[in-house]
């Protein structure tokens, strides 16, 4: 299934090039809305950032726009064809496949859209990825999921119960967790996704 997902994103890249659509976003506005939600985790200026599912490094572009450019940036993706474009945007960045995230430690890991495509055992997949990333980060992990609080579900996408997701992180990863289900990923829509923040320490010390 991961090979099918890889082919899917490669097809999008070939069709759209360096655009939000190549990472399965409907528009750059929608993409940056999600990045803004993730960025609520904390100030990432001069921090070590792991972008899991980096695509063409648009997250780095967003952070630069809001004056939170990180000191180091490691972009991870299953589609290596993204990396030449991403490297042009972030010449001093490091780009790799997921099995190379153990090469360094990070302050924050951010994950946007990675858990949306249907695959066998979606729940196990996101839980294992989040747990692994959390073990690599000194401050925390921010990730988003599609919400079950919607009136329509696309059969090709995975929707997770926000209460279940929060409970898993709280019980199994860290007691210092918060969730935002209050933003619009698309203008004029409803809050059809949510973002969870998992911290290593109480909020007072973030």
User: Long-range contacts for 76-79 (Cβ within 8 Å, ≥24 apart)?
Assistant: 76/50, 76/51, 76/52, 76/100, 76/101, 77/53, 78/2, 78/5, 78/6, 78/9, 79/6, 79/9, 79/10, 79/13, 79/55
pLDDT at 78 over 90: yes
Residue 38 sits at φ, ψ, to 5 deg, of: -65, -40
- pLDDT tens for residues 110-124? 999 999 999 999 999
- pLDDT tens for residues 43-52? 999 999 999 9
Model confidence at 1, pLDDT cuts 50, 70, 90, reads low
Residue 203 pLDDT: 76
Residue 183 pLDDT: 97
Domain parsing of the chain, residue ranges: 2-205
| H runs (alpha helix) in the chain | 2-16, 28-38, 58-65, 83-89, 122-136, 162-172
d(CA 3, CA 138): 31
Q: DSSP letter at 52?
A: E
What's the mean pLDDT in 182-202?
Answer: 96
pLDDT at 156 over 80: yes
- pLDDT tens for residues 50-64? 999 999 999 999 999
Topology classification of domain 2-205: Rossmann fold (3.40.50)
pLDDT at 205 over 70: no
């Amino acid at each position: 299934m991961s090979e099918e997902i890889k082919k899917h994103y490669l097809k999008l890249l070939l069709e759209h090039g360096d655009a939000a659509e190549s990472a399965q976003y409907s528009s750059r506005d929608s993409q940056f809305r999600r990045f803004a939600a993730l960025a609520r985790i904390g100030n990432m200026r001069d921090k070590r950032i792991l972008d899991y599912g980096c695509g063409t490094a648009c997250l780095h572009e967003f952070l630069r726009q809001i004056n939170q450019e990180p000191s180091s940036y490691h972009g991870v993706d299953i589609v290596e064809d993204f990396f030449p474009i991403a490297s042009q945007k972030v010449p001093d960045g490091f780009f790799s496949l997921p099995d190379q995230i153990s090469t360094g430690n990070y302050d924050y890991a951010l994950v946007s859209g990675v858990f949306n495509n249907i695959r066998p055992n979606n729940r196990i997949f996101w839980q294992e990825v989040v747990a692994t990333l959390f073990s690599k980060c000194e401050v925390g992990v921010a990730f988003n999921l599609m919400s079950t609080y919607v009136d329509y579900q696309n059969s090709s996408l995975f929707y997770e119960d926000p209460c279940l997701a929060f409970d898993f992180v709280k019980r199994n990863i860290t007691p210092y967790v918060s969730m935002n289900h209050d933003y619009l990923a698309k203008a004029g829509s409803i809050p059809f996704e949510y973002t969870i923040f998992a911290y290593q320490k109480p909020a007072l010390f973030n």
